[in-house]
């Protein structure tokens, strides 16, 4: 399997994971008084790949999404280097979310944000990280 095929396989896995995440949210806890799953009020999810400079997946990398107005969310890439973030408040401009990656023994070399279609405010936003061994 060449690198291009691997990339597409990873995309499919990531999209499937995002779908599962949405389902988990929708089927989340039920209490008598709470309303859940108001996804119409959510901003777009983020996802991406963490790789090294050779293109190999980097698992267990710490991925931080920093909100310019204050606050941050920290998650971890999985064994194939995929991370996912459920999203932020709709009031937060996705452009004001800064993604960074870190792992012991590596330094961040590059962060690539793939543009969504113009006017698209709901599709997941892909931001990929490249880590370089120190």
Partner 1 sequence: MTRVRCAVAAIALLLACVEATSCSAAVLTGTVSSAAEGAMEGVLVSAQKLGSPIAVTVVSDAQGRFRFPDGGLPAGRYALRVRAAGYDLAGPKTIELGAAPADIALRLDKTADLAAQLTNTEWLMSMPGTAEQKRPLMECMSCHTLQRIVRSTYTAEQFVPVLERMAHYANNTIQARVQMRPAPVKINTAVVTKLAAYLATINLSKGPVWNYPLETLPRPSGRATRVVITEYDLPRQTIAPHDVRTDRAGNVWYSDFVENYLGELDPKTGAQREYAIPVLKPGFPTGALALEPDADGNLWLAMMFQAGLARFDMKTKTFQVFPVEGVADDDAMQQSMVMPRSDNVDGKVWTNDVARHAIMRLDLKTGQYQRIDPFQFLPQGHSHAPYGMAADQKNDLYFMDFGDENIGRVDARTGATTIFPTPTPNSRPRRTMLDDRGRLWFAEFAANKIAMFDTKSETFKEWAVPTPYTYPYDVFCDKHGELWSAGMASDRVLRFDPQSGHSVEYLLPRPANIRRVFVDNSTDPVTFWAGNNHGAAILRLEPLD
Q: Of the candidates 7, 9, 27, 120, which one interacts with partner 1 according to CB under 8 A?
A: 27
Q: Which of residues 71-130 bind partner 1 (CB under 8 A)?
A: 71-76, 86-92
Question: C-alpha distances in angstroms, 69 versus 65, 86, 94, 111, 125?
Answer: 12, 18, 12, 20, 19
Residue 40: CB minimum distance to partner 1, A: 8
Residue whose CB is less far from partner 1, 46 or 49: 46
Q: Which stretch binds partner 1 (CB under 8 A): 3-11, 48-56, 63-71, 113-121?
A: 63-71
Q: Identify the helix (H) or strand (E) that includes residue 84.
A: strand 82-85
**99 exposed, middle or buried (CB, 10 Å; 0-12, 13-18, 19+)?**
buried
Give yes or no for a contact between 108 and 134, defined as CB atoms under 8 angstroms apart. no
Interface ranges with partner 1 (CB under 8 A): 21, 24-25, 27-39, 41-43, 60, 62, 67, 69-76, 86-92
């Amino acid at each position: 399997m060449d690198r291009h095929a691997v990339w597409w396989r990873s995309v499919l896995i990531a999209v499937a994971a995002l779908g599962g995440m949405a389902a988990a949210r929708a089927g989340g806890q039920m209490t008598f008084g709470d309303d859940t799953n108001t996804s119409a009020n959510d901003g777009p999810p983020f996802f991406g790949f963490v790789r090294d400079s050779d293109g190999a997946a980097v698992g267990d990398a710490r991925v931080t999404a920093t909100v310019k107005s204050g606050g941050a969310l920290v998650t971890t890439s999985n064994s194939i280097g995929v991370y996912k973030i459920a999203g932020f408040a709709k009031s937060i401009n996705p452009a004001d979310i800064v993604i960074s990656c870190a792992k012991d023994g590596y330094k961040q070399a590059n962060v690539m944000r793939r543009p969504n279609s113009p006017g698209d405010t709901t599709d997941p936003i892909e931001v990929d990280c490249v880590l370089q061994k120190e």
